């Protein structure tokens, strides 16, 4: 920059308003401050009108003095705004701790969608490959997916409710420890379901139905183990979802 805001203030203090306006105009153009530049143009017009009235001698001296003081004050205010802009842009913004709650909610929703979609495809593949009968397929889906539907509807309802909000700086922050522990619970939950389904596929889970004379699988132990995963790990997933998405009464 050819001149600093402090030097422009000095010009104003020396009553050199014309030069101060020229320098302000140049400075605001360099900084791309169109709004302030427009205000400088207004003050320039006021100064020209002041000079005209002074030369004509048609205006009382006290009125002229008051006009010049007002122009000087307006110019000083513009310099202060320029200084504030340069300071705000020179100081790096401090990174906020944790993660915004809005972003965390979206992450949880996508974890629900991605995880359950993967589980559905895995169950469907097992059924198509002969690892499950149709009754076994329906029974497995009946255990795994009803709770999921509740969780997903709650999370998606939150997204729809806030569909018009555009917040650049979220005030509500979630601790990283909460974020990491939540991801851990989701990982253990999905891993548990995949493991139970895999063990059933390789025959590691005894099936009482296959052991009787008819040899028709009952999937009793499979369903029991899936229910255990839902009870012992899924309860934490429910706690996370309901805490984040359930509307407060």
Predicted pLDDT of residue 131: 85
Predicted pLDDT of residue 168: 44
Domain assignments of the chain as residue spans, ordered by start = 5-90, 99-245
Please check whether residue 78 is in contact with residue 4, taking contact to mean a CB–CB distance below 8 angstroms. no
Nearest to 25 by CA among 11, 12, 40, 15: 40
Q: Which residues make Cβ contacts (< 8 Å) with residue 158, sequence separation at least 6? A: 105, 109, 244, 245
Predicted pLDDT of residue 187: 92
Nearest to 35 by CA among 1, 71, 81: 81
Write down the pTM of the prediction: 0.56
Per-residue pLDDT of the chain (249 residues; tens, 9 = 90+): 457 888 888 888 888 888 888 888 888 888 778 888 888 889 889 889 888 888 888 778 888 888 888 989 999 998 888 888 776 554 444 566 778 888 888 888 888 889 888 999 999 999 999 888 898 899 988 888 887 778 888 887 777 776 655 444 456 788 888 999 999 999 999 999 999 999 988 888 887 666 554 557 778 888 889 888 888 888 888 888 888 887 653
Predicted pLDDT of residue 91: 43
Predicted pLDDT of residue 184: 93
- CA 60 to each of CA 40, 52, 57, 70: distance values in angstroms, whole numbers, following the listed order: 25, 13, 8, 16
């Amino acid at each position: 920059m050819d001149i600093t805001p402090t030097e422009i203030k000095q010009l104003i203090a020396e009553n050199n308003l014309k030069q101060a306006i020229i320098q302000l105009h140049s400075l605001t153009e360099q900084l791309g401050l169109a709004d302030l530049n427009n205000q400088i143009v207004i003050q320039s017009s006021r100064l020209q009108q002041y000079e005209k009235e002074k030369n004509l001698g048609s205006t009382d001296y006290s009125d002229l003095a008051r006009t010049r003081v007002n122009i000087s004050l307006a110019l000083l205010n513009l310099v202060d705004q320029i200084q504030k802009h340069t300071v705000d842009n020179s100081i790096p913004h401090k990174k906020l701790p944790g993660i915004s709650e809005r972003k965390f909610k979206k992450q949880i929703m996508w974890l629900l969608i991605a995880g359950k979609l993967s589980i559905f495809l895995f169950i469907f593949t097992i059924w198509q490959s002969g690892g499950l009968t149709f009754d076994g397929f329906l029974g497995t889906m009946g255990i795994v997916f009803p709770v999921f539907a509740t969780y997903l509807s709650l999370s998606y309802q939150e997204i729809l409710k806030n569909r018009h909000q555009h917040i650049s700086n979220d005030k509500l922050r979630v601790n990283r420890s909460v974020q990491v522990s939540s991801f851990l619970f989701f990982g253990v939950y999905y891993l548990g379901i995949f493991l139970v389904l895999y063990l059933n596929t390789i025959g590691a889970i005894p099936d009482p139905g296959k052991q009787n004379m008819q040899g028709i699988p009952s999937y009793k132990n499979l369903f029991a183990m899936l229910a255990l995963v839902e009870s012992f790990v899924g309860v934490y997933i429910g706690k996370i979802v309901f805490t984040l998405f359930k509307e407060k009464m």
